[in-house]
Each structure stands twice: as C-alpha cells, then as structure tokens.
C-alpha cells in the first residue's frame, strides 16, 4: 500500500489547530472523524505540532497543547502561536486559485453540481479580492459535446461506448469500449475501459475524447482482464529524497523509505512503454532501476533524444 501523501498531512497539520480552537475539548475520535483519518494519526499530528513553532525552538516558541487534556484523549490549545487562525491566501495565491478554478470549470462543464460549487467558490474569491464583477464567466473552452455526461450515463447503465479519440501523439482513432471506471489523477479526468479494438484495458483522458456515444449493447465483463492485469510489467525504482513527488503522483504497489530519505518504489505499468516514460520523467531524481533491461531501454531512449536535440540545434538558422 502506498504511504499517505505528505502534502495531505501538511494541509491537515495547518488546519488542525484552527479546528481545535473552534472545538476546544474535542476528543481524538471527533478530530479523526472530521479529518477522515484514525485517532492514532491525530495523535501523531499533535506530537509533531508540539515540536513546531517559531525560530529558536525554545519552549515559548513552540505550539502547546494541554498535556492533561491530551492524556484524557481530548484536544485543547494553550499556545497556538497564531495557528488557531485560518490560513489566509495571499493576493497572488488567490489569483492562481481563480485561474485553476477556470480550468476545472472547463473539465467539469458537464457536471451541474460541480459547476455550481465552482461558481460559488469563484464568486467568494473575487469578492475577497475586491473585484467589481463577481460573476464567474463561462469557460471559453468548455466542451460542448457532453462527454462527461455521456461517460457517466454509460457507466450507470452499464452500456458500451463508441469513442472518437486523439492520443498524446495526435493520432485520431475510433473505437468501441466497455467502460469500467471514471477517475482523476488530480489534473485530468480519465476513463478506464476495456477496448474492443486492442482487446485490452486502456485509459482515455476525457479532454482527448472528441465525441462519445452510448451504444445499445451492454458492457460485458471480460475474463481476460485478470490475466492481462497479472501480465502488467513491474519495476522497482530507487528515488532520491527529491523524487518523493513522483511516488505521490502515481499509484504504487509498495513504497519503502531508507534512513537517508531514499525511496524504494515498486510500480506496475500498463505496458513497457509506459514504464520507460516514467523513468524518463524521473530524470535526475532516479538512483537505480530494476530490472536492468528496462533501465537500459530508458537510457537508450534518453540518448536518442539528446542526440536528436543536439542535431536540431547544431543546424544554423533552424529557429531564425
């Protein structure tokens, strides 16, 4: 099982003191239920906050909880050092968040509930920034094809889909698929489906689906899915501490951390090409790879790319 995201824990550590200030005397179980974690996780968070604070590290510089309340399984702040106040966005952070909301509005344009939530958030942020026009404009690139709505309908009705799709290499194709699951990596919505053309499980980014049509045929279960999954290639990556972001952004079969902060990450790829791309994206954060032949393939691909880059830039006036 992949270790919890360090980003999620940081957000919780920043939010916990403000929540405790509003719920003085709350139990560890109540805090755990609010943040969606276990009481033991909240206990560890408090232990971390207890040694956090202002530069200097002296007792008066550290966040303090009531020790007697904590021993009784309750939370009470005695020296919050300002952490009891909600985190405030800077002007630049608020503007960046507004731009991100615009991107989400395009991706989720087919979801009325999501659109309304984004609109309210957009309005609140614009009011906080002192904007005169607080109405969220319609996204200029919002999809008009209703792809998200169609995909959700196919999943709900368990029916087959016909897709017109453009791959990452700008190759257009049309295919019938049996939808399995709609998910997100935090950046894109992705449909996982059984492709009848490839006779294998594939993932389709919704922003690359040109059109989607629900077919009258029912989506069927494919017995070969389990054997295909079992045949998916695996790799073990040893990442430098600076490469933790990679382990947090991809599904991992196993993650182990050495004393020096290096990470041993075992991943399963949908095919060998996907694993090679993962190694190339890791770049300087990668220390070692197993199996060795996968590392050799990725190394050869990197050398070809560097040679091609050198050749292109060696031609005078290429970009003049």
Q: What is the crossing angle of helices 39-50 and 6-22, to 10°?
A: 90
Tens of pLDDT, residue by residue over 210-252, are: 899 999 999 988 765 444 444 678 899 999 988 888 887 787 8
Per-residue pLDDT at 136 exceeds 50: no
What is the distance between the alpha carbons of residues 16 and 26, in angstroms, rounded to a whole number?
Answer: 12
Tens of pLDDT, residue by residue over 156-181, are: 899 999 999 987 667 889 999 999 98
Per-residue pLDDT at 117 exceeds 80: yes
Q: Report the pLDDT value the prediction gives residue 140, as an integer from 0 to 100.
A: 39
Tell me how many domains the chain contains: 3
Q: What is the mean pLDDT of residues 126-133?
A: 64
220 and 241 in a single domain? The answer is no
Per-residue pLDDT at 62 exceeds 70: yes
Per-residue pLDDT at 135 exceeds 50: no
305 and 262 in a single domain? The answer is yes
Maximum CA extent, the chain: 75
In this structure, is residue 283 part of a structural domain?
yes
Tens of pLDDT, residue by residue over 266-308, are: 998 877 888 888 888 888 899 999 999 888 888 888 888 888 7
Which of 65, 63, 62 shows the shortest CA–CA distance to 25?
A: 65
List the CATH number of the domain containing 38: 1.10.10
Which of 318, 311, 260, 269 shows the shortest CA–CA distance to 294?
A: 269
For residues 223 and 8, the model is more confident at: 8
Q: Report the pLDDT value the prediction gives residue 30, as an integer from 0 to 100.
A: 93
List the CATH number of the domain containing 188: 2.30.30
- Choose the final residue of a domain: 177, 207, 225: 225
Per-residue pLDDT at 138 exceeds 50: no
In this structure, is residue 22 part of a structural domain?
yes
Tens of pLDDT, residue by residue over 100-116, are: 777 677 667 667 777 78
Tokens linked to 126: 């614009």
- Choose the final residue of a domain: 31, 51, 79: 79
In this structure, is residue 271 part of a structural domain?
yes
CA 18 to chain centroid: 25
CA 306 to chain centroid: 30
261 and 219 in a single domain? The answer is no
What is the distance between the alpha carbons of residues 153 and 293, in angstroms, rounded to a whole number?
Answer: 43
Q: Return all residues near 89 (Cβ < 8 A) that are at least 6 apart.
A: 97, 128
236 and 307 in a single domain? The answer is yes
Q: Return all residues near 266 (Cβ < 8 A) that are at least 6 apart.
A: 234, 235, 236, 237, 252, 253, 254, 255
| Overall pTM surpassing 0.75 (yes/no) | no
Q: Report the pLDDT value the prediction gives residue 229, as an integer from 0 to 100.
A: 45
- Side-chain half-sphere of 190: how many Cα atoms within 13 Å? 12
Q: What is the mean pLDDT of residues 1-10?
A: 65
In this structure, is residue 90 part of a structural domain?
no
Q: What is the crossing angle of helices 39-50 and 28-35, to 10°?
A: 100
Per-residue pLDDT at 88 exceeds 80: no
In this structure, is residue 320 part of a structural domain?
no
Q: What is the crossing angle of helices 112-128 and 91-107, to 10°?
A: 160
247 and 281 in a single domain? The answer is yes
- Choose the final residue of a domain: 225, 258, 276: 225
What Cα–Cα distance (Å) separates residue 267 from each residue in 52, 215, 246, 276? Answer: 34, 35, 11, 12
Residue 294 domain boundaries: 232-313
Q: Report the pLDDT value the prediction gives residue 5, as an integer from 0 to 100.
A: 63
Sheet holding 286-290, edge to edge: 254-257, 263-268, 234-239, 286-290
What is the distance between the alpha carbons of residues 297 and 255, in angstroms, rounded to a whole number?
Answer: 24
Q: Return all residues near 234 (Cβ < 8 A) that are at least 6 apart.
A: 253, 266, 267, 268, 269
């Amino acid at each position: 099982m992949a270790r919890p995201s360090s980003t999620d824990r940081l957000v919780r550590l920043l939010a916990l003191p403000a929540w405790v200030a509003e719920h003085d005397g709350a139990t560890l179980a109540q805090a755990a239920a609010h943040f969606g974690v276990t009481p033991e996780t909240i206990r560890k968070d408090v232990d971390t906050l207890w040694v956090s604070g202002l530069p200097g590290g002296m007792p008066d510089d550290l966040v303090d909880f009531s020790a007697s309340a904590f021993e009784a399984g309750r939370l009470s702040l005695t020296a919050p050092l300002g952490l009891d106040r909600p985190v405030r966005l800077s002007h630049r952070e608020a503007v960046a968040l507004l731009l991100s909301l615009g991107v989400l509005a395009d991706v989720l344009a087919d979801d009325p509930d999501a659109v309304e939530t984004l609109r309210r958030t957009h309005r609140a942020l614009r009011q906080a920034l002192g904007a005169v026009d607080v109405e969220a404009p319609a996204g200029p690139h919002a999809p008009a094809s209703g792809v998200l709505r169609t995909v959700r309908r196919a999943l709900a009705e368990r029916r087959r889909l016909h897709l017109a799709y453009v791959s990452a290499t700008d190759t257009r194709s049309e295919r019938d698929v049996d939808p399995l699951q709609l998910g997100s990596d935090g950046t894109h919505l992705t449909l996982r489906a059984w492709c009848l053309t490839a006779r294998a499980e594939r993932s389709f980014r919704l922003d690359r689906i040109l059109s989607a049509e629900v077919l009258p045929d029912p989506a069927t279960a494919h017995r070969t899915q389990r054997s295909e999954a079992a045949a998916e290639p695996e790799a073990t990556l040893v990442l430098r501490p600076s490469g933790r972001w990679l382990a947090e952004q991809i599904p991992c079969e196993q993650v182990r951390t050495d004393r020096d902060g290096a990470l041993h990450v075992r991943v399963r790829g949908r095919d060998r090409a996907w694993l090679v791309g993962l190694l190339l994206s890791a770049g300087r954060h990668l220390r070692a790879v197993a199996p060795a032949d996968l590392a050799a393939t990725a190394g050869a691909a990197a050398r070809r790319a560097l040679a091609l880059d050198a050749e292109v830039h060696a031609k005078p006036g290429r970009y003049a």
